[in-house]
Amino acid sequence: MSAAPGDVEKGAAAADTGAAAKDGAPAGEGVVGAVVRRWRRQDLLDKSGSALRAAAWALSLLAFVVMGANDHGDWKQFDNYEEYRYVVAIGVLAFIYTTLQLVRHGVRLTGGQDLQGKVPLLVDFAGDQVTAYLLMSAVSAAIPITNRMREGSDNVFTDSSAASISMAFLAFVCLALSALVSGFKLAKQTYI
């Protein structure tokens, strides 16, 4: 028989007030209280990692859709420039990675089976870092050509390119923060 989370929290509160009354320690410092706080922190880390990946999913989708739709005839076609094709390719890759990660985390949060041991933490950490690096690489490749084009003529093609680059950069920020969360979870992993 397992206790519901609410029962555990009530038990923690009762144990904490009892401990405070006995030895004068501040409330919330009992063993049960520490366990409950750890569970809450772990739940917050799981949710924040998923939220950051969801934001990266939406932003990478926008990045490659906006750039892919950036076709205005003559020289104003994204596929004439390898830097812009690179932004599209990395945007698609980031979209696929974040989709798979969100599905995996959704299955795990709904009680399904996940990878065993430290493997899921390593997959999260390495995948987030590699994908974030690739997004930054695509952004840094596309910015110089966009700036040169904007000096000559500022039009809907350069505006769309700049918007796509901005979305890719924001996706990078989300995945970089997700990599920090994954790294923290990996560092705090118990080896028991």
What are the domain boundaries of the chain? Answer: 48-190
B/e letters for 55-92, b = 16+ CB within 10 Å, e = fewer, are bbbbbbbbbbbbbbebeeeeebebeebebbbbbbebbb
Q: What is the pLDDT of residues 159-187, one digit of tens each?
A: 888 999 999 999 999 999 999 998 888 88
Q: What mean pLDDT is predicted for residues 98-102?
A: 93
Query: What is the rounded radius of gyration, in angstroms, for the C-alpha atoms of the chain?
Result: 23
Note the pTM of the prediction, 2 decimals. 0.74
Q: How far is CA 137 from CA 40, 63, 83, 123, 133, in A?
A: 36, 14, 10, 21, 6
